[in-house]
Structure 1
């Protein structure tokens, strides 16, 4: 289990002003929770699951594009059931430094206003609507371009991501205190093990607390009990399977960590106000 946030290492590439990465990899080979000193623009082309960005953990789906400011911890945990036929996910990632933004602002006065707006972003942003469509088009085109052509495309990206229209915040910087680190550890463990049986004993041991102290700590930090949170997480995971696969309800029940089908149905209806079957039909 991850003890601390890792810093992503990007190989030095002096011949490039920014790093462009278009990959198809196995669904479980993504880098774990990490942070870096560069900005990151990430486009999930194939895949869905759960992501952590700063203080926020929530489901994600394919086609999303996220802008992450420097030094915000983040990771994407992909679902095996939403990979391609080869078990692979696909994404495009661009990372660029503060120094590059400063040089662009200095060299190109036309960009100064846009870059000032980018610097005002302290939260990770998800793009929507027409802005999302434009970004998707440019990023896909960049995968086919030469390094020279990518320079002009990158400048277009800067002008688009500087706008806060059609965006929503999906993660804020976190204060690196003991409580926050403890919660990160708990949430990561749930992300990686929700399909299995999870006990209070193992969770308490994970963060070096006794069971009673763990329960008090988790309730204080989240406003809910650990098992309520775990049930909600499993239900959200099962919703992804209901909408993106043709698996039977019983299969989804067990794949999302429940051991009893009637109990799964009761919990699902309590949280979503409909049965799993009704939820699938509505979607």
Structure 2
């Protein structure tokens, strides 16, 4: 599926973009851009694709995405066919990492938000109180200008820096890089990302971390919220989604290229993570491209 770069117009006297998308349906295709982006759906329903994540959106859906992460919001047929009794609406905020200066994210006060923006490279869907607070601010920002709008964005940063109410969307294997952690975690992560197409054993990776297998398993789960094997499979399935979208490899070839040594296990892990088969994923991606 071809990904294109799409840019929103920015007013000459504004340092970042606040834009209200409104129409029969959301017209933007599968695309990316160099800005960070917050998308709040006000009205309409449909399918949301962020990287290799496929989910369903409805009013109140709030997602943050990092630069160059491919994504698209495809409205349900009732909107694309013009049969809904209301228009589709969303509020979009876009900003670049250096919109307040090259060193803005390097100051001590921005340490937590810098970590959150790193996670946004995979896309983040917000829930709970975090979503409620940011939603209120984004709705108000449409009617603001100047310092009020900037102040509200900084307030959003403050909320994000303290939040735990989120779900990461795209698989780590789909993106080109992940936020840096400790030296030990970075070494492990890089080894996985560079060798996921080969056999990687628990004893091997635990030895790299200078830990026993049990200690390593507990450490890894504490850091990543999932087990090492679950993370490894997530990386492999994420890469598989990239290959499936290109349509120049059959499913058996994709499975072996991603480190699975048999098709049955590949299909089982894919369905577990994506809630659909590899074939259905390929069909869904093609449908989004046509739409």
Band of TM-score, shorter chain: 0.5 to 0.7
Query: 1:152 and 1:41 mapped to 2: Cα distance?
Result: 16
Deviations 1:201-245 (A, max 9, x none): xxxxxx357xxxx4545777861699x749988xxxxxxxxxxxx
Q: 2:245 maps to what in 1?
A: 184
2:31 counterpart residue number: 34
Long gaps (5+) in structure 2: 177-237, 259-265, 282-291
Q: Return 5+ residue gaps in structure 1 as ranges.
A: 186-206, 234-283
* Residue in 2 that maps onto 1:113: 111
Is the CA contact (8 Å cut-off) linking 1:117 and 1:163 kept in structure 2?
no
* Partner secondary structure for residue 14 of structure 2: coil
For residues 183 and 16 of structure 1, do their structure 2 counterparts lie closer, same or farther at Cα, with a shift above 3 Å needed?
same
Q: What is the total number of aligned residue pairs between the two structures?
A: 204
Distance 1:106 1:92, change over 3 A: closer
* Distance in 2, Cα, partners of 1:40 & 1:172: 18
- CA distance, structure 2, for counterparts of residue 155 and residue 162 of structure 1: 10
Q: Whole-Å Cα distance in 2 between the matches of residues 86 and 15 of structure 1? A: 36
Return closer, same or farther for 1:134/1:231 CA change in 2, 3 Å cut-off. Answer: same
Q: Distance in 1 between matches of 2:57 and 2:169?
A: 10
Alpha-carbon separation, structure 2, partners of 1:149 and 1:49:
33
Does structure 1 residue 79 correspond to structure 2 residue 76?
yes
- The TM-score, its normalising length taken from structure 2, stands at 0.59
**Deviation of residue 97 (structure 1)?**
0.1
Contact 2:50-2:169 at 8 Å conserved across structures: yes
Query: Where do 1:265-276 residues align within 5 Å?
Result: none
For 1:50-61, what aligned pairs fall within 5 Å after superposition? 50-61=47-58
Q: Is the 8 A contact 1:47 1:89 kept in 2?
A: yes
Is contact 1:72-1:172 (8 Å) kept? no
Name the counterpart of 2:141.
Answer: 142
What's 1:129 paired with?
128
1:166 alignment partner in structure 2: 165
Q: CA deviation at 1:181?
A: 4.5
Normalised by the length of structure 1, the TM-score is 0.60
